[in-house]
Each structure stands twice: as C-alpha cells, then as structure tokens.
Structure 1
Amino acid sequence: MLRRHGQLVNTTTGEVQELWEAEKEGSPRRNYSLGGRYGQFSLERVSAMLRHDSGITGDAFRVFWYCAIETYNEGGATAAKAAKHLGLTPQATRRIAKQLAENRIFLVADVVGRTIKYKASPHIVTSLTGVEQAEEAAAYHLPTLPGRRTGAKRRA
C-alpha cells in the first residue's frame, strides 16, 4: 500500500482503498435498506463514463449497467440478451459490447462458439468483498474510456 494525498493506494491494482472504521464495539452491523441484492461501484469511474467527452453514449451506458447487474445474477450477459431486455437491435448491442470490451470496461466471461458472454470490470462495479474484489481486479488492466484515446485522430 502506498499513501498518497491522504488516500491509501493499492500498488498492484491502482485502486484507492477506503479506510473503514468500526462502529462502537458490540453494536450490530447495519444492513442497507436498498431492497434486494446490492453491490458497490466506483463513483470516480462511473462519473467519468457519464462525462460528455467519454465517448460512451446513453445506449452504451444502459448496456453497461444491464451487463453489470447480470454479472451479479448470472456471471454476465450476452449482447443478444441485453438487446432483448433493453429494446435495442442485436447488431448495435454487439457493437457496443465489443467497444466496451476493447476499453476493458467489459471483460469476456465466456465464449461458446460465436456467442460471447460479457461481465463488468471489477475496477468499476462489484458485489464481492473488498479482498475478493482486489484479487479479481489485480488480474485485469484498468479500463479506459473510448473518447479519451491518445494518438492519431480518426478521419471522418
């Protein structure tokens, strides 16, 4: 761990670690009142995804969250399943999922023939414990945003 500007940074994953202070000793741990299953997400990374210059469209953001939720439920989702649920065309959803995977926002969970099952990056969203999330995140590179690539500009 490396301490930087009042934050603890995991040098393996680059993740900022939060310090947790226990409540009074002997007091029961509080449950969240969110209803149903819940998980955690990186405010910093999701906020960056929402920026106008991130390169992520509204439909891409919807595809991301659908697959993120299905990562909890079934270990991920195919583009066809996401398209059906979101009311998008399978072709557009496959293109979006491929772009998100190229930027490591999605990870390939499974491949059967030509069918690809995607899951959300553990650097962005997880339902694992802190230790489990850190171990999984260490296995993957940090995600990038499509609109923030460096190098030559594309011609229109």
Structure 2
Amino acid sequence: MLNQSTGELFELWEPDEDGTPRRPYSFGGRHGQFSFERVLAMLHKDSGITGDAFRVFFYCGIMTYKQGGATAKEAADHLGLTVQATRRIAKELAENKFFLVADRIGRTIKYKASPHIVSSLSGAEQSEEAAAYHLPVVPGRRTAN
C-alpha cells in the first residue's frame, strides 16, 4: 500500500492466530478476485448456464487480464469446443452482461469479463470500471413453452 502523504510503500497484514504475519499468497503468477455471490448464482442448477458456458466465461475472464479479452475462436481452440458453439455461448453471455465487448474488428468480437464478477484491479479501479456497466443477469432455467 502507498502512503499518499509521504510516498512510502508499506505492506498491510493481519496476524495469523499465533500473532505472526500472515504468509503471502502462493498463487502462480498474477491472481485476482471474483464475486462469490455472482459465481454461485452462475453455478446454481436453475441458472441455465451450462458447464461449457462457465468454462468459456472463465477462459475469457482470465484472458481479460492477460491480453484484454479473447475471441470465441481463441476460447474454442483452448477449450476444445467448436467455434460455432463458442460463438453462440459468448453471444448469450454478452446478452446477459456476463461479457462485455472489448473490441470488434469486422465480424470478429473480442470479449472481456464483467468487472462485476471477476477482476484483478485494485478496489478503487474495479469500482470505477464496474460503475460504467450494468449488472449481469442470470438467465434462469430455459423452458420449452
């Protein structure tokens, strides 16, 4: 953390139960945070979100912070899905505000994850970015009526 008045850099820590400083994270590489509440809603049996859609979401979510997002083709290649199915999934996730369109070149769309669900930004940056977008809407179970 940076002390705004002095410019001094210092680390915030909470002690473990024994009073020693808490150990740093052991994640490999860059890491971020996600909304437990929104991810649990996505995982719920009545959400209408399939396992493949969840995989596509998290692939593009990770790519949001590695390279600004991902196309359906990139996701399909990595996940072993067809490009057509991945495009359909990405379009549906975008319609429900889980994805945002990061870039569009011709017919190629680069998607990024909603900052309301996954982020690796600081709290202030994440709040600022999230304020610019609508909350995602869990579509619910699809019924044949």
TM-score range, shorter chain: 0.7 to 0.9
TM-score of the aligned structures, taking structure 1 as reference length: 0.77
Q: Secondary structure at the match of 1:147?
A: coil
Q: 2:14 aligns with which of 20, 23, 39?
A: 23
Counterpart residue number, 2:59: 66
Q: Secondary structure at the match of 2:46?
A: coil
Q: 1:46 aligns with which of 16, 39, 42?
A: 39
CA positional deviation for 1:34: 1.2
1:45-124 superposed matches below 5 A:
45-124=38-117
Contiguous gaps of at least 5 residues in structure 2: 1-11
| Partner Cα distance (1:68, 1:58) in 2 | 15
Q: Secondary structure at the match of 2:125?
A: helix
Q: Match for 1:51: what amino acid?
A: H
CA positional deviation for 1:22: 5.7
Q: Match for 2:82: what amino acid?
A: T
Q: Does 1:33 align with 2:19?
A: no
Contiguous gaps of at least 5 residues in structure 1: 1-20
Name segments (4+ residues, structure 1) moved above 2 Å: 21-24, 27-31
TM-score of the aligned structures, taking structure 2 as reference length: 0.83
% identical aligned pairs: 74
Structure index of larger Rg:
2
| Partner Cα distance (2:144, 2:137) in 1 | 18
Aligned residues: 130
Q: Match for 1:57: what amino acid?
A: T
The answer to which structure has the higher strand fraction is 1
Cα RMSD (Å) of the superposition? Answer: 2.1
| Partner Cα distance (2:109, 2:21) in 1 | 43
| Partner Cα distance (1:117, 1:51) in 2 | 27
| Partner Cα distance (2:52, 2:120) in 1 | 23
